[in-house]
Amino acid sequence: MAVADPIAWVANVQRLYRAYDAEGVSALYTDDAITIAGSRVLTPDLVHAHPKEWFDSLEDYQITRKFRAATGDIIVSETEASYIIKKEGKRYKEWGVDVYWVNDQGKIYHKHTSEIVEPYDLRPVPPRK
């Protein structure tokens, strides 16, 4: 397995996001990392720029990442979050799954995200079993 303790690895990712630590999140990725969310593909430059842009656009960011699985160089986590987009003044919630491909140094070289983002009060987050 690429990461000795994938549960601790996901907990660290959560810690960095809760701290709005853009440099720390960027450092999770290799220099040539690619991320994919739906049909949106982030090139390495965008991968490393995104954390600062993301954190700068938010306030009252609340996030929980849960370890779900790991095998070989793949780690899967589930995310539930809510936040206010500053320029809109509106609260959103999101939930989804991240699939990370991680090298032996614990750095992400590829990531797929599947998420739902919607206005906070639209409907309750589906219960987890």
Domain of residue 25, CATH code: 3.10.450.50
> In sequence order, what are the beta bridge partners of 36?
41, 112
Distance CA 113, CA 78 (A): 10
Q: How many domains does the chain have?
A: 1
**What mean pLDDT is predicted for residues 11-33?**
98
Residue 44 lies in a domain: yes
Strands (E), the chain: 29-37, 40-42, 58-71, 74-85, 90-102, 108-119
pTM of the complete model: 0.91
Structure tokens at 40: 């949106």
- Start-to-end CA distance of the chain, whole Å, equals 27
Q: Which domain holds residue 86?
A: 6-119
Distance CA 95, CA 80 (A): 4
Residue 49 lies in a domain: yes
Distance CA 4, CA 102 (A): 11
Cβ pair 65, 97 in contact under 8 A:
no
CB-neighbour burial class of residue 129 (10 A; exposed 0-12, middle 13-18, buried 19+): exposed
Label residue 128 by pLDDT band (50, 70, 90): low
**What mean pLDDT is predicted for residues 22-32?**
98
Residue 51 lies in a domain: yes
CA atoms in the 13 A half-sphere facing the CB of 71: 1
Residue 15 lies in a domain: yes
Of the chain, the percentage scoring pLDDT greater than 70 comes to 96
Residue 124 lies in a domain: no
Residue 41 lies in a domain: yes
